[in-house]
Amino acid sequence: MEKFLAAVRNMFQVPDLRRRILFTLGILAIYRLGAHVSAPGINKARLDQVWHDVSGTLLGVLDLFSGGNFRLISVFALGVTAVFDGRSRGCADNVRRALAAN
């Protein structure tokens, strides 16, 4: 245990390492705060009902891995869903083109 505490003390004595660690912790804190800010215009009662209906599906697992950001439709989760939507639309377009070519 003493070696661990000595290593932690040494981490904060090196200026460059201390700056990097504090930056990382700051970014994590900003992300966790942003995860609690819900997107504007969301009907909270309807959203709770929808998540109750899909809790045992793949969306429920995705919400579990995102740390609950999808359940809240947080501001920071909006960027992630845009990436998922863009990829799924691209895949659907590719499937449509492949089917149309045959």
pLDDT of res. 64 = 77
Instruction: Return the percentage of the chain with pLDDT > 70, whole number.
Output: 71
Q: pTM above 0.85?
A: no
How many domains does one find in the chain? 1
pLDDT-derived band at 82 (thresholds 50, 70, 90) equals very low
**Alpha carbons 67 and 12: distance in angstroms, whole number:** 29
Nearest by Cα to 79 from 50, 47, 49, 39:
39
Select the highest-mean-pLDDT range: 10-19, 37-46, 60-69, 76-85. 10-19
Give me the domain span that covers residue 61: 2-101
